[in-house]
Amino acid sequence: MPVNLPPLNPSQLKPIAGVRIGIAEVGVRKANRKDLTVFLLDEGASVAGVFTSNRFCAAPVQVCREHLDSGSAVRALVINTGNANAGTGAPGLAHARQTCDALAQLLNCSATQILPFSTGVIMEPLPVERIVAGLPAAMADAQSAHWAKAAEGIMTTDTVPKAASVQVQVAGKTVSITGISKGAGMIRPNMATMLGFLATDACLDPALLPALAKRLADGSFNRITIDGDTSTNDSFMVIATHQAGHAPITSLESQDGQALLQGLMQVARQLAHAIVRDGEGATKFITVQVEGGRTGEECRQVAYAIAHSPLVKTAFFASDPNLGRILAAVGYAGITDLDQGLIELHLDDVHVVSQGGRRADYREEEGQRVMKGSEITVRVGLGRGTASDTVWTCDLSHEYVTINADYRS
Amino acid sequence: MPVNLPPLNPSQLKPIAGVRIGIAEVGVRKANRKDLTVFLLDEGASVAGVFTSNRFCAAPVQVCREHLDSGSAVRALVINTGNANAGTGAPGLAHARQTCDALAQLLNCSATQILPFSTGVIMEPLPVERIVAGLPAAMADAQSAHWAKAAEGIMTTDTVPKAASVQVQVAGKTVSITGISKGAGMIRPNMATMLGFLATDACLDPALLPALAKRLADGSFNRITIDGDTSTNDSFMVIATHQAGHAPITSLESQDGQALLQGLMQVARQLAHAIVRDGEGATKFITVQVEGGRTGEECRQVAYAIAHSPLVKTAFFASDPNLGRILAAVGYAGITDLDQGLIELHLDDVHVVSQGGRRADYREEEGQRVMKGSEITVRVGLGRGTASDTVWTCDLSHEYVTINADYRS
């Protein structure tokens, strides 16, 4: 059961003018499963994205990068679940290209105008014929109201579909922002850490989009971790269709730029948090705040050490205030000149550690009370400076082992 | 159940002339448990050690470093289990010193001649009065034949006591080497990753001992990982009593030096492997060999990425040849200019991946056969150079979660 994640209400997802979505069942891995999703974009849409930092990146990620770099106007995204097309060598690359070719032919555009995405099992040949054969059905299904269906169509071990939507006022017009995401394991920073697709009808200078995508990822998907495994296929795409009819935004620092950024960040963060809340086996949603660092980078380093520690994560699962494990993670995070005598630790409102030692007034019942909750904030003070950063994660439960020991069977 | 670890046979552990060991039950955390161990060294013994790299190192580690740095001749080691005396601030340091003071008084020597060690729960005050009160009983128990009892006396979540012993010929004399270790969770490289005590009656230039300890740790304890958590208390100590009666070794590169090194490394490695075999919830013993790297460091980096990946570890637990997870870990290990087209992967004798893709002649039944074993070697070729390194680890099972969710209760 996802942690405090209300069920998806399809009617709350605003359609985005200029984006239609079609879904088909093509049997990539299992029968009777929505496993092929196509995003069709009106002419004039802009797309930017960020991809996994994994050097063993999947074939579709390589092809996406090529196609985006070519500067071609993107007309469609094609996403299959069930197979990641990663660790598949040269044939895998050929399969990703074949998918683009087939869709380009149907859309009467160039293959470089198609972006392919895959998610699922690694190192199995992609059943490209079934995907190609299913493209016409997916296209025929295309509607602007299909966001909820798409959220389902890209799931792997996710237990619930994930989507979010807001409307903001930009330059006197109502702008819509809608996004979907998937991912529940092999989730770690250093890039989008899952599949995420965010679209808006806002009008903005297309040149702003790459930096915007990076900024959104860094404030959301690049700050979550479930198991520390960076996937081979992570992709986060931002689509702007420029159809809202307001004067185009030319700077993100302008008032309208900020309004749009805020709306986009809200949706991106909601989608990223949804991934953690539905983390494999997650029973708790944990916010790790590290402050008092010399740089944001070292705060992140400490936050991730805590968020990745299996010992910390199992303690959360057990609601056991075995908080020394957090101190140990702070200590091995890699800050070589850390002064342990300056460390402070709060668990929600409970002040646990001062000057590197357990406080005399700390009561285990207090720690226990916080640990029993399903939303917990760990706050660490490093006492070295004024930088801070935040990372979101979940606990490590029996269910995580069960899911990952049985995923393929 | 530890993985292929035969039960300890106390009669196979050679006593080391000049070392006597006494154990007592003092109720550090639980009653009726051997939890205090004292090593008494004859005058003239030399001691060197390596300690955790965790910046949040425990009070006893800080005191050990001080006492070793003081150059005082070590006369005794005192080890308690049940409480790590870490994250305890200034009172913790005072408690570690108090323990040394008390034992020094009993031995009529200086406190700087005592090395203290603690292992157990972090961030709880050390019940120093019970430890001090138990020292006379531990001393009264001291015998050279008590190695097996000591192995038991330092256990925490270990399911079996760990000890190893060999005899080697050095300069025409039979030299004995015996050691004990403990540790089953919070185990990761960057230092001894547990408590380990190794003693020999060999005669050698005491100046050689610090480098020897480092070399032994790097070939054994610094190459194992269970959960990637570096403990606050890791300590690995090498004791030489110089009582074997042969001409002292003045260089480790000499023939006798090599004979001794080999014997010591054999015991150190056996003790380190025993920790992995008894890793919390371990059901398999995994050797991760990475070759073809530009440097040993990058090989280690890749080996640890594989050995720490919860997804890889759960796949081993499930005997599921979901080997793409290994490729993903290779890809995110941090080698930024890695060419995935050169990666090779073997699982024992099965060649799985060539040039970054699954081999056409690979059969899943073959992968399955290897995965079902309890001792598995993963061999990764990076195709970038001639360096290599090896790391040992275990799988991640339900039992790991159970143990760490319930450790304190």
In the stretch 242-271 of chain A, residues with CB closer than 8 A to chain B read none
Q: State the pLDDT confidence band at B409, using cuts at 50, 70 and 90.
A: very low
Residues of A in contact with B314 (CB under 8 A): 400-401, 404-405
Q: Are A336 and A363 in a shared domain? A: yes
Q: What is the mean pLDDT of chain B?
A: 90
Task: For residues B360 and B211, state if they share a domain.
Answer: no
Interface test with B, best of A29, A53, A56 (most B CBs within 10 A): A56
Please indicate, yes or no, whether residues B298 and B384 belong to a single structural domain of this protein. yes
Q: Which domain holds residue B155?
A: 10-277
For B55, name the nearest residue in chain A, comparing CA atoms only.
Answer: A331
> What's the DSSP call for residue A92?
H
How many CB atoms are located within 10 Å of the residue B202 CB? 27
Q: What is the mean pLDDT of residues A224-229?
A: 70
If one compares A389 and A87, the residue with the highest pLDDT of the two is: A389
C-alpha separations of B22 from A177, B145, B197, B241 in Å: 70, 10, 14, 17
Q: How far is B186 from chain A (nearest CA, A)?
A: 7
CB of B170 within 8 A of CB of B247? no
The confidence score (pLDDT) of residue A227 equals 66
Mean pLDDT computed over every residue of chain A: 90
**Is A360 at the interface with chain B, CB within 8 A?**
no
Residue of B nearest to A317 (CA): B405
B289 near B388, Cβ under 8 Å?
yes
User: Does the structure show a pLDDT above 60 at B187?
Assistant: no
Quick check: is A210 in a domain?
yes
Please check whether residue B329 lies inside any domain of the structure.
yes
Residue A122 lies in a domain: yes
CA B63 and chain centroid, separation: 20
Cβ atoms of A397 and A280 within 8 Å: the answer is: no
Q: Tell me: do B368 and B313 sit in the same domain.
A: yes
Q: Which amino acid, B122?
A: I
The confidence score (pLDDT) of residue B185 equals 60
Element (H, E) at B37: strand B36-41
Please report, for the domain that includes residue B402, its CATH number.
Answer: 3.10.20.340
Strands A387-394 and A285-293: antiparallel
DSSP B109: S
Residue A191 has pLDDT above 60, yes or no: no
Percent of chain B with pLDDT over 90: 68
pLDDT at B53 over 80: no
Show residues of chain B in contact with A227, CB under 8 Å.
Answer: 309-311
B3 domain-assigned? no
The residue length of chain A stands at 409
The answer to whether residue A337 is domain-embedded is yes
Question: Which of the residue ranges A131-140, A200-209, B215-224, B384-393 would you say has the lowest mean pLDDT?
Answer: B215-224
Q: B-chain residues within 8 Å CB-CB of A336?
A: 55
How would you classify residue B237: left for phi > 0, otherwise alpha for psi between -120 and 50, otherwise beta? beta
Does the CB of B361 have a partner CB in chain A at under 8 Å?
A: no
Whether the per-residue pLDDT at A17 is higher than 50: the answer is: yes
Q: Looking at residues A43-59, what average pLDDT do you find?
A: 87
Per the structure block, which two tokens stand in for A25? 């069942």
Determine what percent of chain B is predicted with pLDDT higher than 70. Answer: 95
Contact, B190 vs A332, CB < 8 A? Answer: yes
CA distance readout (Å), B172 to A141, B168, B175, B201: 86, 10, 9, 14
Put simply, the chain A residues between 275 and 334 with a CB less than 8 A from any chain B CB are 308-311, 314-315, 317-318, 320, 322-325, 327-332
A89 → closest Cβ in B88, B330, B357: B357
Residues of A in contact with B280 (CB under 8 A): none
Residue B334 has pLDDT above 80, yes or no: yes
Does A268 share its domain with A360?
no
pLDDT above 70: residue B336: yes
**Hey, of B193, B222, B327, which one would you mutate to test binding to chain A, going by the most A CBs within 10 A of its CB?**
B327
**Band of residue B279 on the pLDDT scale cut at 50, 70, 90:** confident
What band does A193 get if pLDDT is binned at 50, 70 and 90?
Answer: very low
Cβ-defined contact of A358 to B124 (cutoff 8 Å): yes
DSSP class per residue in A2-52:
-TT-PPP-GGGS---TTEEEEEE---SSSSSS--EEEEEE-TT-EEEEEE-
Kind plus residue range of the DSSP H or E element containing A98: helix A89-107
Is residue B194 pLDDT above 80, yes or no?
A: no
Residue of A nearest to B398 (CA): A398
Q: Of A261, A268, A267, whose CA–CA distance to A212 is shortest? A: A261
Of B92, B123, B227, the CB nearest to A311: B227
Q: Residue B192's pLDDT is what?
A: 29
Residue B209 lies in a domain: yes
Q: What are phi and psi of A130, to 5 degrees?
A: -65, -35
B130 or B84, which is more confident: B130
Domain's final residue, options A277, A309, A324: A277
The structure tokens listed for B267 are 């015991």
Clarify whether residues A111 and A221 are in a common domain: yes
Residues B299 and B168 occupy one common structural domain: no
Same domain for A183 and A121, yes or no, is yes
> Of the candidates A251, A267, A242, which has an alpha carbon nearest to the alpha carbon of residue A181?
A267
Going by their DSSP bridges, the two strands A344-347 and A375-381 should be labelled as antiparallel
Could you tell me which residue, A234 or A293, shows the higher pLDDT? A293
pLDDT at B89 over 70: yes
**Interatomic CA distance for residues A180 and A151, integer angstroms:** 5
Alpha helices in B123-208 (DSSP H): 128-140, 147-153
Cβ neighbours of residue A110 closer than 8 Å, sequence gap 6 or more = A72, A104
Cα separation of B178 and B197, whole Å? 8
Confidence of residue B328 (pLDDT cuts 50, 70, 90): confident
> Which one of A52, A193, A230, A287 is the catalytic residue?
A193
Q: What is the pLDDT of residue A188?
A: 43
To the query of whether residue B250 is one of the catalytic residues in this protein, the response is: no
pLDDT digits (tens, 9 = 90+) for A161-171: 999 999 999 99
Spatial separation of the C-alpha atoms in residues B238 and B151, rounded to whole Å: 15
Answer whether residue A315 shows pLDDT above 70. yes
* Closest residue in chain A to residue B344, using alpha carbons only: A87
ipTM: 0.72
Looking at the fold, whether A188 and A244 belong to one and the same domain comes out as yes
Q: Give dist(CA A163, CA A13) in Å, integer.
A: 8
Which among A65, A233, A313, A332 is the top mutation candidate for probing chain B, defined by the most B β-carbons within 10 Å of its own β-carbon? A332
End residue of a domain, out of B241, B256, B277: B277
Pair of tokens at residue B159: 């399911």
Q: Is the pLDDT score of B330 beyond 80?
A: yes
How far is the CA of B390 from the CAs of A14, B222, B352, in angstroms? 53, 10, 19
**Mean pLDDT of the A141-147 span:** 96
Residue B38 reports pLDDT greater than 60: yes
Mean predicted confidence (pLDDT) in A132-159: 94
Q: How confident is the model at residue A54 (pLDDT cuts 50, 70, 90)?
A: confident
Provide the pLDDT confidence category of residue A72 given band limits of 50, 70 and 90. very high
Radius of gyration over every alpha carbon of chain A, rounded to an integer in angstroms: 22
Residues B121 and B264 in one domain: yes
Question: Do B89 and A341 make contact, defined as CB atoms within 8 angstroms?
Answer: yes
> Are residues B228 and A309, on separate chains, in Cβ contact within 8 Å?
yes
DSSP alpha helix (H) spans, A169-295? 209-218, 255-277
Between CA B221 and CA B178 the distance in angstroms is 16
Across the interface, whether the CB atoms of A55 and B89 are under 8 A apart is answered no
pLDDT interval class at A325 (50, 70, 90): confident
Q: Which residues from B are below 8 Å from A188, CB to CB?
A: 332
Mind listing the pLDDT tens digit for each residue in A247-272? 999 999 999 999 999 999 999 999 98
Asked if B84 reaches chain A (Cβ–Cβ under 8 Å), the answer is yes
Distance from CA of A381 to the nearest CA of B (A): 14
Would you say A77 and A117 are in contact if contact means Cβ atoms under 8 Å apart?
A: yes
Name which of A337-341, B94-98, B377-381 the model is least confident about: A337-341
How far is the C-alpha of B202 from the C-alpha of B248, rounded, in Å? 8
Contacts of A402 in chain B (CB under 8 A): 398
Give pLDDT tens digits for B90-143: 999 999 999 999 999 999 999 999 999 999 888 889 999 999 999 999 999 999
The per-residue pLDDT for A369 is: 95
Characterize B248-272 residue by residue with b for buried, 16 or more Cβ atoms within 10 angstroms of its Cβ, and e for exposed: ebeebeeebbebbbebbbbbbbbbb
Contacts of A324 in chain B (CB under 8 A): 84, 86-87, 121-124, 232
Give yes or no: residues B269 and B323 share one domain.
Answer: no
Average pLDDT of the segment spanning A50-67: 88
Structural domain contains residue B5: no
Domain boundary among A230, A252, A277: A277
Q: Choose the closest CB to B186 out of A311, A401, A406.
A: A311
C-alpha A249/C-alpha A204 separation (Å) is 4
Cβ-Cβ pairs closer than 8 A, A with B, add up to 228
Cα separation, B74 vs B72, whole angstroms: 6
* Contact call for A401 and B397, based on CB within 8 A: yes
Residue B406 reports pLDDT greater than 80: no
- Spell out which residues of chain A touch residue B328, defining contact as CB-CB under 8 Å: 54, 56, 86-87, 122, 186, 229-232
Chain B 213-232, CB below 8 Å of chain A: which residues? 227-232
Residue A186 banded pLDDT, cuts 50, 70, 90? low
pLDDT the model gives residue A231: 62
Catalytic one of B193, B225, B241, B283? B193
Q: B309 and A87: CB-CB below 8 Å?
A: no
Nearest to A131 by CA among A80, A61, A62, A58: A80
Taking the Cβ of residue B364 and every Cβ of chain A, the question of whether any pair is shorter than 8 Å is answered with no
| Mean pLDDT of the B327-351 span | 92
Distance CA A211, CA A128 (A): 33
B320 chain-A contacts, CB cut-off 8 A: 405-409
- Supply the pLDDT for residue A185: 60
- Read off the pLDDT band of B76 (50, 70, 90): very high
Confidence class for position B164, pLDDT limits 50, 70, 90: very high
> Among residues 149-178 of chain B, which lie with CB inside 8 Å of chain A?
none
Give the residue among B160, B103, B93 at the shortest CA–CA distance from B136.
B103
Question: Quick check: is A4 in a domain?
Answer: no
Q: Give the residue with greater pLDDT, B231 vs A204.
A: A204
Do both A134 and A238 map to the same domain?
yes
pLDDT reading at A280 higher than 90 = no
- Considering only CB atoms, A55 lies closest to which of B317, B335, B353, namely B335
Structural domains of chain B, count: 2
A32 in reach of chain B (CB within 8 A): no
CB contacts under 8 A, B 176-195 vs A, are 185-186, 188, 190
CATH number (domain holding residue B222): 3.60.70.12
Q: Which of A87, A335, A405 sits opposite B324 (nearest CB)?
A: A87
Cross-chain Cβ contact B324/A121 below 8 Å: yes
Chain B, 1-30: which have a CB under 8 Å from a chain A CB?
Answer: none
Burial letters B38-70, b for 16+ CB under 10 A, else e:
bbbbeeebbbbbbbbbbbbbbbbbbbbebbbee
